[in-house]
């Protein structure tokens, strides 16, 4: 039996340079980055991608106080996606809705906060918050969204390091095809900048970006790149089976064409270009396409000296010189690394290419690293192209998890 | 500390843990739960904030004493005064 066709019908997002798809896209086309300085506990001023959405649009002050930042981002994105989808939410069967949210990690923020809190009381654990457990369970972000939206279907998170955003969409596609739910709210979120640990960890790994100008700090493929800018963010989609979307006359952004997920099984942190290439090839095959059919490749590249080269090696192995219509870009150069939200946000930023036939560039490339000089790389200025029918999105993560998701222009 | 001062301490805590609530017309003799959207976790917050901000301990068996502002004042004012006398 042919699997159901799955389509994207709504998008809600918050990124360091935009709180809606329209604003985000405009900034990607105008070269507007969103990195700033932020005080990080124990570490002082650090570069970070900070979201500036209004939490009180969809939450009470008390919900914001009791919940987590990850929960708040999830609620904002989920509500925005539902609104954008045009669904009659009051009439929606809430037990047939699934919430599948990818996240890099969860619980570090609250644990660090509580340890700091009890440090103010000589580490006496009677001052430890009774909210600690509900705030730190791994399903917290999806659970908070389910409470806020009244969703009684399955709501959980998918832990997949920085591949998690793609995994949210892939898992949702699978659940819709299995008939487990009729509507999926899915994607990825991250509250990472609220913990010092991720900054300190990358710094100890010599992988934390530094630059005098925050807006130039995240610079994948540039010779002078020196690491990751840690960011928060979120992007959730509404996904539906095509027949359901058509029955209600929904606007359709794109159709899920194919995907693949695999593992390096080779190192805790070092990427493996051979496995990455296998992942990309398998996704292209799954979509029933060849590499020549892919029009935009949105790279995962995080601006670490080695990681960028390795992803370029993988892309070169798959696309080589024989794909003249394949354009390659990167979104982290604007917003830093939004961790669990990265894949979902970066895909969203490229979806408007189906209609405006423009590929947003990779910015901050003043001196292209020859090892990253891929054919088709779109540098510093948007590129008008003749055709965008497919977008391939790479997201890779620690412990060697690789994910590639391909969407295509919707054609009835 | 007077009982009215004690009530103000409790209302200040409630203002932080229930920031959406209008506290201008709280009836001191009526149960807080009957006037405000407060759940059991919020009452644990009141207990925690009394501990953190004022060094006041409320054992679980005495939580019922925090039902209304009047009962809070009856129960907590002597505790505040005993603590002040120690200092």
> Does residue A42 lie within any of the structural domains?
yes
Query: For A108-144, b where at least 16 C-beta lie within 10 A, e where not — what string?
Result: bbbebbbeeebeeeeeeeebebebeebbbeebbbbbb
Q: What is the CATH number of the domain that holds A362?
A: 3.40.47.10
A304 falls in which pLDDT band (50, 70, 90)? Answer: very high
Q: Cβ–Cβ of B19/A66 closer than 8 Å?
A: no
Task: List strand residue ranges (DSSP E) for A252-351, in order.
Answer: 254-263, 296-298, 327-329
Q: Cβ–Cβ of B19/A127 closer than 8 Å?
A: no
Q: Cβ–Cβ of A130/B41 closer than 8 Å?
A: yes
State how far the Cα of A87 lies from the Cα of A149, in Å rounded to an integer: 13
Question: A277 and A222, same structural domain?
Answer: no
State how far the Cα of A189 lies from the Cα of A103, in Å rounded to an integer: 6
Instruction: Give every CB contact of residue A315 below 8 A, 6+ residues apart in sequence.
Output: A277, A280, A297, A299, A328, A374
State how far the Cα of A359 lies from the Cα of A383, in Å rounded to an integer: 5
* Cβ-Cβ contacts under 8 Å, A62 against chain B: 17-20, 37
Question: A276 and A136, same structural domain?
Answer: no
- Report the mean per-residue pLDDT for chain A: 97
Interval A98-146: pLDDT, tens: 999 999 999 999 999 999 999 999 999 999 999 999 999 999 999 999 9
Say if residue A55's pLDDT is above 90: yes
Question: A237 and A102, same structural domain?
Answer: yes
Domain boundary among A247, A276, A310: A247
> Does residue A410 lie within any of the structural domains?
no
A65 Cβ under 8 Å from any chain B Cβ: yes
* ipTM of this complex prediction, to 2 decimal places: 0.94
B59 Cβ under 8 Å from any chain A Cβ: no
Task: List strand residue ranges (DSSP E) for A163-229, in order.
Answer: 183-190
Question: A77 and A201, same structural domain?
Answer: yes
Residue B87: per-residue pLDDT: 78
Question: A63 and A193, same structural domain?
Answer: yes
Interval A168-219: pLDDT, tens: 999 999 999 999 999 999 999 999 999 999 999 999 999 999 999 999 999 9
Closest CA to B39 of A113, A125, A134: A134
Q: Which two tokens stand for residue A104?
A: 């890099």
Question: A206 and A334, same structural domain?
Answer: no
Interface test with A, best of B40, B48, B54, B63 (most A CBs within 10 A): B48
B58 Cβ under 8 Å from any chain A Cβ: no
> Does residue A254 lie within any of the structural domains?
no
Question: A241 and A342, same structural domain?
Answer: no
A125 Cβ under 8 Å from any chain B Cβ: no
B19 Cβ under 8 Å from any chain A Cβ: yes
Residue A315: per-residue pLDDT: 97
- Report the mean per-residue pLDDT for chain B: 96
State how far the Cα of A402 lies from the Cα of A86, in Å rounded to an integer: 33
A2 falls in which pLDDT band (50, 70, 90)? Answer: confident
Question: A241 and A271, same structural domain?
Answer: no
> Does residue A23 lie within any of the structural domains?
yes
Question: A341 and A235, same structural domain?
Answer: no
> Does residue A131 lie within any of the structural domains?
yes
Per-window interface: A 221-260 vs B, CB < 8 A:
none
DSSP state string for B19-64: TTS--TT--TTSBHHHHS---HHHHHHHHHHHHHHH-----GGGGG
Q: Which two tokens stand for residue A328?
A: 């390659």
CATH 1.10.1200.10 fits B3-86, yes or no: yes
Structural domain count of chain A: 2
Residue A403: strand pairing partners: A261, A395
Number of A/B CB contacts below 8 angstroms equals: 22
> Does residue A161 lie within any of the structural domains?
yes
Question: A278 and A210, same structural domain?
Answer: no
Report the pLDDT averaged over residues A227-231: 98
Q: Cβ–Cβ of B41/A131 closer than 8 Å?
A: yes
Residue A312: per-residue pLDDT: 97
Helices (H), A67-182: 69-85, 108-119, 132-136, 140-149, 164-178
Q: Cβ–Cβ of A127/B48 closer than 8 Å?
A: yes
A291 falls in which pLDDT band (50, 70, 90)? Answer: very high
Residue A321: per-residue pLDDT: 85
Question: B55 to chain A, minimum CA–CA distance in Å?
Answer: 11
Report the pLDDT averaged over residues A336-361: 98
Half-sphere exposure in the Cβ direction for A408 (13 Å, CA):
17
Question: A184 and A42, same structural domain?
Answer: yes
Task: List strand residue ranges (DSSP E) for A230-306, in order.
Answer: 230-231, 233-241, 254-263, 296-298
Question: B87 to chain A, minimum CA–CA distance in Å?
Answer: 18
Active site residue ranges of A: 162, 300, 337
Q: Which two tokens stand for residue A313?
A: 């090696």
Interval A6-39: pLDDT, tens: 999 999 999 999 999 999 999 999 999 999 999 9
B27 Cβ under 8 Å from any chain A Cβ: no
Question: A62 to chain B, minimum CA–CA distance in Å?
Answer: 6
Report the pLDDT averaged over residues B3-19: 97
Question: B81 to chain A, minimum CA–CA distance in Å?
Answer: 22
State how far the Cα of A300 lies from the Cα of A273, in Å rounded to an integer: 12
Q: Please give the residue range of the domain that contains residue A312.
A: 260-404
B50 Cβ under 8 Å from any chain A Cβ: no
Question: A351 and A229, same structural domain?
Answer: no
Instruction: Give every CB contact of residue A171 below 8 A, 6+ residues apart in sequence.
Output: A100, A158, A186
Say if residue B27's pLDDT is above 80: yes
> Does residue A130 lie within any of the structural domains?
yes
């Amino acid at each position: 039996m042919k699997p159901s066709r799955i389509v994207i019908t709504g998008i809600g997002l918050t990124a360091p340079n935009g709180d809606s798809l329209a604003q985000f896209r405009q900034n990607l086309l105008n070269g507007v980055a969103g990195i700033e300085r932020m005080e990080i506990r124990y570490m002082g001023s650090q570069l970070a991608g900070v979201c500036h959405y209004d939490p009180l649009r969809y939450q009470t002050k008390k919900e914001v106080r009791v919940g987590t930042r990850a929960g708040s981002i999830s609620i904002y994105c989920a509500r925005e996606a539902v609104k954008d989808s045009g669904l009659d939410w009051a009439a929606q069967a809430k037990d047939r809705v699934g919430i599948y949210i990818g996240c890099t990690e969860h619980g570090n923020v609250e644990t660090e906060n509580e340890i700091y809190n009890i440090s103010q009381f000589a580490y006496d654990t009677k001052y430890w918050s009774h909210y600690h457990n509900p705030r730190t369970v791994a399903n917290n972000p999806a659970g908070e969204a389910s409470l806020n939206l009244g969703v009684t279907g399955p709501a959980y998170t998918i832990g997949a390091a920085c591949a998690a955003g793609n995994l949210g969409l892939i898992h949702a596609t699978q659940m819709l095809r299995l008939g487990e739910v009729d509507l999926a709210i899915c994607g990825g979120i991250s509250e990472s900048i609220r913990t010092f640990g991720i900054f300190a960890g990358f710094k100890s790994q010599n992988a934390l970006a530094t630059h005098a100008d925050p807006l130039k700090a995240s610079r994948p493929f540039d010779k002078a790149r020196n690491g990751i800018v840690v960011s928060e963010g979120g992007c959730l989609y509404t996904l539906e089976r095509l027949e359901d979307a058509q029955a209600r006359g929904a606007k359709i952004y794109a159709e899920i064409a194919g995907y693949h997920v695999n593992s390096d099984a080779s190192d805790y942190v070092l990427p493996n270009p051979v496995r990455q290439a296998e992942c990309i090839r398998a996704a292209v095959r799954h979509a029933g396409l060849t590499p020549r059919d892919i029009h935009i490749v949105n790279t995962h590249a995080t601006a670490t000296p080695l990681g960028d080269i390795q992803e370029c090696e993988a892309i070169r192995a798959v696309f080589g010189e024989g794909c003249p219509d394949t354009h390659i870009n990167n979104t982290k150069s604007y917003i830093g690394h939004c961790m669990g939200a990265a894949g979902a946000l970066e895909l969203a930023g490229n979806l408007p290419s189906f209609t405006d036939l423009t590929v947003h560039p990779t910015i901050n490339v003043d001196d292209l690293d020859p090892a990253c000089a891929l054919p088709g790389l779109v540098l510093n200025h948007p590129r008008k192209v003749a055709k965008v029918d497919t977008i391939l999105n790479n997201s890779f993560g620690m412990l060697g998890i690789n994910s590639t998701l391909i969407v295509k222009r919707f054609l009835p | 500390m007077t009982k009215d001062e004690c009530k103000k301490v409790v209302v200040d805590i409630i203002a932080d843990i229930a920031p959406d609530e209008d506290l201008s017309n709280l009836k001191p003799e009526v149960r807080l739960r009957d006037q405000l959207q407060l759940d059991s976790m919020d009452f644990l917050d009141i207990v925690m904030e009394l501990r953190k901000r004022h060094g006041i301990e409320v054992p679980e068996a005495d939580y019922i004493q925090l039902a209304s502002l009047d009962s809070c004042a009856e129960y907590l004012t002597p505790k505040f005064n005993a603590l002040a006398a120690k200092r």
